[in-house]
Chain A
């Protein structure tokens, strides 16, 4: 560190710090301009998925903010719920549930239910099923998952809440009977839970 052509240690550090200063200044500016938009986008993205769950339902609260964790007692009980409200009155419920009966492991689902107990939509949020077979439960991969819309307990009757491959009323994904059954079962369980416990759920508070 003593030759004339090599800078002293403090000089190197200073140069480094100076460039760090410059670079971070630029980033601070970029952040200043992009931050509001990013946050808006982030919120919108979170809402968008939940909004998919409630087609045709009017609500005026933030679904993402309305989440309440539930404590499953039995296997198949939902582990959380989003509550939609319209003008202060409950408009719909979106249950989050996990079933362990998938082919490759746990399948996580959202099940939307309207006040009449009818399913508004079902979406898979996470799963480990075989690509090409079980993964057709994803909305983006096939329309299979939409067949639950409008169904409710009793329609079809409880005995027929299973894939047609197993003698039920629902379509089966070919080559993935197990997956189909797991999802069908899980949806039925949510409806049963909804019927039994909806009254116990806390109401949507103001400002949520």
Chain B
């Protein structure tokens, strides 16, 4: 349990996936223009990150390592992530069209979210156990969800401000991300990586 807490503090605050590790920036900027969209994206990503983390670990340990195929990690992971995303989308759609409406748009986007591939690769490189990998994926998702939702709420306000032309849109979003990263710098040192 302590590992879990440490991993989550680390992935959410101290080494936030988006703000300090630079993973998942495309959806961070792309899906944050509105709060409800951000909520959908956050939930979908949380789900997929956790699943991908586990799936990646299993594939690596039971398929790649036994045959000495570590070099195929990238290829197999992206394959499995894409399939996973599709499967999750189909299942969600079948179980609850409502949730599908909330998440549906965002699921396909997740394939090209580098946080998902990143979390699987980091698990391998940092040699996490299955349980740790699961927590890591979940924590990464939480961290992503946390900053995405916060950021979306912030952007609802910055969007209505008389921002100088050169800063409108992307530059201001990045500036905001930078200031959030500064704020989160304070959490540095609170947990390992």
Query: Which positions in A face B, CB cutoff 8 Å?
Result: 20, 23-24, 27, 31, 35, 104-105, 128
Contact B75 A128 (CB under 8 A): no
Identify the 6 closest CB pairs spanning chains A and B, nearest first. Answer: A104-B189, A128-B189, A31-B71, A105-B189, A27-B72, A27-B75
Closest B residue, CB atoms, query A34: B71
In the complex, what distance in Å separates the CA atom of A105 from the CA atom of B187? 13
Whole-angstrom CA separation of A31 from B71 in the bound complex: 7
List the B residue with the shortest CB-CB distance to A103: B189
Instruction: Decide if B75 touches A24 in the complex (CB within 8 Å).
Output: yes
Q: Is B188 an interface residue (CB 8 A)?
A: yes
Task: Kindly state the separation between the CA atoms of A104 and B71 in the bound complex, as whole angstroms.
Answer: 36
Q: Shortest beta-carbon distance, B3 to chain A, in Å?
A: 16
Task: Give chain B interface residues in 83-121, CB to chain A under 8 Å.
Answer: none
Determine if A23 and B189 form an interchain contact, defined as CB atoms under 8 angstroms apart.
no
Give min CB distance, B68 to chain A, whole Å: 9
B99: min CB distance to chain A, Å: 26
Q: Kindly list chain B residues whose C-beta atoms are within 8 Å of the C-beta of A105.
A: 189, 192
A23: chain B residues at CB < 8 Å are 75
Q: How far is the CB of B147 from chain A (nearest CB, A)?
A: 21
- In the bound assembly, the distance between CA atoms of A35 and B69 in angstroms comes to 11
Residue of B nearest to A131 (CB): B188
Q: List B residues at the A interface (Cβ < 8 Å).
A: 71-72, 75, 79, 188-189, 192
Can you list 15 A-B pairs with a CB-CB distance of less than 8 A?
A20-B79, A23-B75, A24-B72, A24-B75, A27-B71, A27-B72, A27-B75, A31-B71, A35-B71, A104-B188, A104-B189, A105-B189, A105-B192, A128-B188, A128-B189
Bound state CA distance, A107 and B161, in angstroms? 46
| A107 and B71 alpha carbons, distance in the complex (Å) | 32
The residue of chain B having its C-beta at the shortest distance from the C-beta of A35 within the complex is B71
Name the distance in Å between B127's Cβ and chain A's nearest Cβ. Answer: 15
CA distance A15 to B79 in the complex (A): 14
Chain B residues with CB under 8 Å of A104's CB are 188-189
Given contacts A27-B71, A104-B189, A105-B192, 7 further A-B contacts (CB under 8 A): A24-B75, A27-B72, A27-B75, A35-B71, A104-B188, A105-B189, A128-B188
CA distance A90 to B78 in the complex (A): 49
CB distance from A103 to the nearest CB of B (A): 8
Residue of B nearest to A128 (CB): B189
Give the shortest distance, in Å, between B174 (CB) and chain A (any CB). Answer: 21
CB distance from B56 to the nearest CB of A (A): 18
CA distance A23 to B192 in the complex (A): 38
User: Which residues from chain A contact B189 at a C-beta distance below 8 Å?
Assistant: 104-105, 128
- Which residues of the other chain, A, contact B79 by a CB distance below 8 angstroms? 20
CA gap between A105 and B193 in the complex, in Å: 12
B residues less than 8 Å from A27 (CB atoms) = 71-72, 75
How far apart sit A85 and B72, CA to CA, in the bound complex (Å)?
38
